[in-house]
Amino acid sequence: FNENEIAYLPKLGYFKKNEPAFFEPIHIIENSNIEVFRHSINLLRNVFTDGSGNVIPDFDITFDNSLLEKNISYLTNAVSFIKEDSKEYYEIIEKCCKKILLFKTDPGNTNSFATIKAHGVAFFNVYQDDYDEVFFIDDIAHQTGHIILTTLFHNRKAIFKIDEEQNVEDLLKLKDHRTVYILLHALYTYYTTLLCLDNSLAKNRFNKRQEKEAIGRIGFYLNKCSNDLNRFEKINDLYSGIENVLTNEGKEIYDIIRQKYSEAVQKWQTTISGFDYNNQTYNFAFKNFDALNTLEKTQS
């Protein structure tokens, strides 16, 4: 039982202590096979850690049914949009991502994440009050991207020719504490996020405010992707070519990422070139973006 004396049985539902019948069923997102947890799960509690690896205290993090109630319509719509607009990618999502857990905490504690310690679960930090379908398309694509790549990389030596646990900082003498493995993970999530946002924009899924946010997020990730591609290319140069860094399977994934980046730059560069991201933090915040960028820029 969790702190509210609720126990969860997979595929069945939730029990309250000393009550013989289920008091809530599991929640499956409409027209999908993906479950959303209604309550905190004790067996998952240890994966909620801060940057130092310490478990985030109960008073500093929220898990409850109110998060599901507030966000489920947005989450359901986002899943539906990805399913219809990015069909091939969605098929992979359903194979690899079985469950979603919503939580709320200061991002200084942790961001949304996926982890091998709870493989197949996507964890979304819904700490901004204005999150809607655009955020969930972004975060679904991002976190399921991690889950999918972890699955693909179950045998890392089928992907990497070098030691993938080397730190980028040590290799390139730059301030970057990520490993080569994590760097490639980041690049793949830019690919999945750009893919899903771009496809849903093309299908006119959003109102004007959401359209501005979606395009703002695309520019935000293109900047990040550009920086990380540059770092990966420097690693390739360090080893005298990508053929000495990645296997053919690894190069295929890398080429897909580069191709999507190039397509997105060609499509959106004129629109996003004037955007100002100086007030953004690690996670995209639309209210910050909106304060510095006019709607007309998204329509140029």
Q: Are 141 and 192 a contacting pair, CB within 8 Å?
A: yes
- pLDDT surpassing 60 at residue 100: yes
* Total residue length of the chain: 300
- pLDDT surpassing 90 at residue 296: no
**Residue boundaries of the structural domains of the chain:** 1-152, 155-277
The whole-number pLDDT of residue 297 equals 43
Average of per-residue pLDDT across 253-269: 97
Sign of the dihedral defined by the CA atoms of residues 285, 291, 295, 300, in that order: negative
Q: Are 110 and 49 a contacting pair, CB within 8 Å?
A: yes
Angle formed at CA 180 by CA 241 and CA 103, multiple of 5 degrees? 145
Tokens of 195: 């893919």
Average of per-residue pLDDT across 277-295: 91
From residue 287, alpha-carbon distances to 54, 213, 279, 283, 284 in Å are 31, 9, 10, 12, 9
Band (299; pLDDT cuts 50, 70, 90): very low
**3 state DSSP class of 28:** strand
pTM: 0.94
- Dist. CA 120–CA 209, nearest whole Å: 32
The whole-number pLDDT of residue 295 equals 63
Tell me what percent of the residues of the chain surpass a pLDDT of 90.
Answer: 92
Quick: pLDDT tens for 48-88.
999 899 999 999 999 988 999 999 999 999 999 999 999 99
Average of per-residue pLDDT across 198-209: 97
- Dist. CA 97–CA 101, nearest whole Å: 11
Instruction: Tell me the CA end-to-end span of the chain in Å, nearest whole number.
Output: 55
Quick: pLDDT tens for 134-178.
999 999 999 999 999 999 999 999 999 999 999 999 999 999 999
- Dist. CA 87–CA 107, nearest whole Å: 31
Give the residue from 178, 177, 124 showing the smallest Cα distance to 147.
124
Quick: pLDDT tens for 13-44.
999 999 989 999 999 999 999 999 999 899 99
